[in-house]
Chain A
Amino acid sequence: MKNIGIVCEGPTDFIILQAVVDTITGERNNFYPLQPEPDVIGRYENGWKGVWKWCIDHAAIKKQFMNSIQPALDLLIIQMDGDVSRKEKPAHCSCDPTVCPDRESLNPLYCNTITCPVTLPCNRHSAPVTGYIDHLKSLISSKLIDTDDTCIVVPCDSLEAWIVAAYDGPENVESIEDPWKQVILRGAPYHDVRIPRQKKSAKVFREFAPVVCRNWQQVTRLCQSARDFEQTIRSFT
Chain B
Amino acid sequence: MNLRKISFGNFKCLYNIAFEPGKVNVFIGANGSGKSTILEAIGLLSAAMTDRVDSASLQRRGVRLSIPSLYKSNFKGISRQKLTVDLSLEWDDDDSSDVCQYDVHLTTPTDSDYWKYHAEAFFLNGIKKWGRSHASQQQTNNHIGFFLIDNNEDLAASRKIAQDFSSYGIFQPNTMTLRGTTPDPNQTTPIGLNGGRLAEAIDALIHEKDGDLCFGDLYMDDILDMIDWASDITVGAPKKSTINSNIPSPRQVIQFADRYMKASAQFTGYDASEGALYVLFMLALAMHPQAPSIFAVDSFDHALNPRLAKKMIQVFCEQVIQHKKHVFLTTHNPLVLDGLDLRNDDIRLFALDRDSHGYAQIKRILVSQELINEGQPLSRLWINGRLGGVPTPL
- Size of the A side of the interface (Cβ < 8 Å), in residues, is 28
- Cβ contacts under 8 Å, A36 to chain B: 393
Q: Which residues of A contact B86 (CB under 8 A)?
A: none
CB distance from A56 to the nearest CB of B (A): 14
Determine if B392 is an interface residue (Cβ-Cβ < 8 Å): yes
Asked if A32 is at the interface of the complex by the 8 Å CB criterion, the answer is yes
CB–CB B356/A18 < 8 A: yes
Contacts of B394 in A (CB 8 A): 11, 202
Chain B positions 353-393 with a Cβ under 8 Å from a chain A Cβ:
353, 355-357, 361, 363-368, 370-371, 374, 376, 380-381, 383-388, 390, 392-393
What chain A residues lie within 8 Å of B381 (beta carbons)? 69
A68 interfacial by beta-carbon distance below 8 Å: yes
Interface 9-residue window, one of A37-45, A77-85, A218-226: A37-45
Contacts of A22 in B (CB 8 A): 356
| 1-56 of chain A: CB within 8 A of chain B | 5, 8, 10-11, 14-15, 18-19, 22, 28, 30, 32-40
Decide: A34 near B365, CB < 8 A? Known: A11-B394, A28-B357, A202-B392: no
A61 touches B (CB below 8 Å): yes
**Nearest chain A CB to B375 CB, angstrom units:** 9
Would you call A40 and B383 a contact (CB within 8 A)? yes
- Taking a contact as CB atoms under 8 Å apart, the answer to whether A69 and B392 are in contact is no
Name the residue of chain A whose CB is nearest to the CB of B359: A28
Q: Are B386 and A5 in contact (CB-based, < 8 A)?
A: yes
Q: Across the interface, do A37 and B393 meet the contact criterion of CB distance under 8 Å?
A: yes
Q: Across the interface, do A32 and B386 meet the contact criterion of CB distance under 8 Å?
A: yes
Say yes or no: A70 contacts B364, CB within 8 Å.
Answer: yes
> Bound complex: CA of A64 vs CA of B385, how far in Å?
15
A65 at the interface (CB under 8 A from B): yes
Contacts between the two chains (Cβ within 8 Å), count: 74
Q: Are B361 and A30 in contact (CB under 8 A)?
A: yes
- Given the interface pairs A28-B356, A39-B383, A61-B376, the reply to whether A33 lies near B390 with Cβ below 8 Å is yes
Q: Which of B353, B370, B380, B392 has the largest count of A CB atoms less than 10 A from its CB?
A: B392
**Residues of chain A contacted by B356 (CB below 8 angstroms):** 18-19, 22, 28
Query: Is the Cβ of A38 less than 8 Å from the Cβ of B384?
Result: yes
Assess whether A71 is interfacial by the CB under 8 Å rule: yes
> What residues on B are CB-neighbors of A38 within 8 Å?
383-385, 390, 393
Give the docked Cα–Cα distance between A147 and B255 (Å).
61
Q: Which of B363, B370, B371, B384 contacts A39 (CB 8 A)?
A: B384
Q: How far is the CA of A37 from the CA of B394 in the complex (A)?
A: 9
Nearest opposing residue in chain A for B374, CB measure = A61
Partner of B355, one of A28, A64, A68: A28
Q: Are A64 and B371 in contact (CB under 8 A)?
A: yes
- 25 A–B pairs (Cβ distance < 8 Å), ordered by A: A5-B385, A5-B386, A10-B393, A11-B392, A11-B393, A19-B356, A28-B355, A28-B357, A30-B355, A30-B363, A33-B390, A33-B393, A34-B386, A35-B385, A37-B393, A40-B383, A64-B368, A64-B370, A65-B371, A65-B376, A65-B386, A68-B367, A69-B367, A69-B387, A71-B363
Instruction: Name 14 extra pairs, CB < 8 A, besides A30-B388, A32-B385.
Output: A5-B385, A11-B394, A14-B392, A18-B356, A22-B356, A30-B355, A32-B388, A33-B393, A38-B393, A40-B383, A64-B368, A64-B370, A70-B364, A202-B394
In the complex, the 4 A-B pairs of residues with the closest C-beta atoms, listed nearest first: A11-B393, A70-B366, A68-B368, A68-B371
